[in-house]
Amino acid sequence: MSRSTPPRPFDVTALFPQLAPLARTATRLHPRAGSPTPHDSSVGGPLLWPAGEPWPYCAGPHEWDQVNDPMSPRDVREQRRIQTAAVNRSRGNPRQVAYTPEEKAVLARIHAGHPWPEGPVAMVPVAQLYRRDIPALVRPGRSDADLLQVLWCPFDHPEHPRTALFWRSAAAVTDVLAAPPEPPAVQLADYVPQPCLLAPEEVTEYPHFLELDKEVRELLADWSRWQAAGDAVDGAYAVAPQEFYVNQLSVSPGWKAGGWSRWGLTDPLPRTCSACGTAMEPLLTIASTEWNHGTGSWAPEGDQARDPLPPGVPPANYTRVVVAGGYALQLHVCPASADHPHLELVQ
């Protein structure tokens, strides 16, 4: 199913032409629960992984936080199946959601937990992106690789999962690994992505307010300059019009490839390659939600009324991924070489 982001309230470069040269294309992924195959771009789906290539493991450390009882990926999937069945029986009414005695027994077993794993832990598929679906996706160094695979360790290191990136040529994979290993337990169900198909959509982004130079920030904070747009600008932002720019016009929320980095948890941090000093570029944003109260105007048309989620799942969190309590994990790469370390940034 295709999904379309509503047009922005107006062309911000008409009021602030200084932004025009800073425009970037981002590809919103719009993940929604489905049944992807290894030949699909997906979140949490099976990977086109060569049968003869070792599966990646994380050596740790994997220390128990003394709070969360570990669950197996199988338990996570079973719990979600039960939650979805209960919601379907209630026809989406949260006050009528109830579990059968059999379901309660399964949930009780799941919540009893698993032993904390010892030794290396198999990494979990997070995303698989084909360049045919995301034309702007290019391997650093401009090789002929047309497939990006992202995995992570389902334990905090220390405040979010540790990620691994793999670029490959899809045509070179002739024998696909049929049964990849899974970790015996995960720290949080939030670290097991719900299998989702994607509906990629290109949008135009501009830098976050905090990344702009002082002169442009002062212009964006001047309410009188916004009044030329008339009713297209929400008057509730008169006290801080730069927030209108941040929420409605600059960086799109949710899962995306490319574009600009989002800030707010901290001020902008240096993003330079530890191997060569080159400025790094955003590759993939792994988001805890597709939109929230402040960025609701980015919700695809009609999406507010589709795809009900079980109780306890935040609105618009179709992947079931929650990073660092509700933020996003932004992966950056060095444009000079895919062999250089990538950067993980929580914002």
pLDDT-based confidence at residue 91 (cuts at 50, 70, 90)? confident
pLDDT of residue 281 exceeding 80, the answer is yes
Cβ neighbours, 10 Å, residue 104: 12
| DSSP states of 137-203 | ---TT--S--EEEEEEEEEESSSSEEEEEEEE-GGG--SB-SS----S-BS-GGGSPPPEE---EEE
pLDDT-based confidence at residue 311 (cuts at 50, 70, 90)? low
pLDDT-based confidence at residue 112 (cuts at 50, 70, 90)? confident
Residue 10 has which token pair?
């107006």
Mean pLDDT in residue range 147-170: 96
Identify the pLDDT of residue 334.
96
Mean pLDDT in residue range 253-270: 96
pLDDT of residue 307 exceeding 80, the answer is no
pLDDT of residue 308 exceeding 70, the answer is no
Question: What φ, ψ does residue 151 adopt, rounded to 5°?
Answer: -125, 160
pLDDT-based confidence at residue 160 (cuts at 50, 70, 90)? very high
Please check whether residue 290 is in contact with residue 320, taking contact to mean a CB–CB distance below 8 angstroms: no
Instruction: Name beta bridge partners: 43.
Output: 127, 196
pLDDT of residue 70 exceeding 80, the answer is yes
pTM: 0.94
Identify the pLDDT of residue 1.
67
